[in-house]
Amino acid sequence: MRAVIQRVAKASVTVNKEVVSEIENGLLILLGIEDGDNLEDIEWLTRKIVCLRIFNDSDGVMNHSLVEVGGDAIVVSQFTLHASTKKGNRPSYIKASKPTIAIPLYETFIKQLESDLGRKVGTGIFGADMKVALLNDGPVTIIVDTKNKE
């Protein structure tokens, strides 16, 4: 499981010209799922996300977590995070899970993140053509991969 975590001042997801999620201060999480991912990956990643100390304290030092600042989150499924560009110029997405595997894991990830965060999170619509808008704060962008735990 791979996540691109972006600290945002605001973010939104639009599908068919309708805003389906929007937040102010918080995190936009792009989530890539592969076949080997499981509940252990989900639990590790959601705990990591809510505890990452990437929000500024009163001295301007990144010392607070999403929980501590009361921030919100949006989770967007993004199979392209598992793109392989090793051969040629057309990325291969062979490592990305098919919807039959990815959708249940995506839904479980959202429920676990909501549990860890203590509130609802926004989402995109799995498989839809989404327009994601964000104002990256910092900018702060962190890439986390559960396979190598970094």
Return the CATH number at 104.
Answer: 3.50.80.10
Calculate the alpha carbon distances from 29 to 66, 89, 146, 147 in Å: 12, 26, 14, 17
In this structure, the chain runs to a length of 150
Burial class (CB in 10 A: 0-12, 13-18, 19+), 141: middle
Domain count for the chain: 1
pTM for the predicted model, two decimal places? 0.95
Q: What is the pLDDT of residue 149?
A: 80
Domain with 94, as residue range(s), is 2-140
Mean predicted confidence (pLDDT) in 71-83:
95
Over the stretch 1-27, which tens digit does the pLDDT of each residue have?
Answer: 999 999 999 999 999 999 999 999 999
Residue 40 lies in a domain: yes
Residue 105 lies in a domain: yes
Residue 148 lies in a domain: no
Residue 100 lies in a domain: yes
* C-alpha span between 18 and 4 (Å, rounded): 24
CA torsion sign, 2 to 123 to 121 to 37? negative
Residue 9 lies in a domain: yes
Tell me, rounded to whole angstroms, the distance of Cα 148 from its chain centroid: 17
Q: Which of 11-15, 69-73, 79-83, 107-111 has the lowest mean pLDDT?
A: 79-83
Q: What is the pLDDT of residue 148?
A: 85
Residues catalogued as catalytic: 80
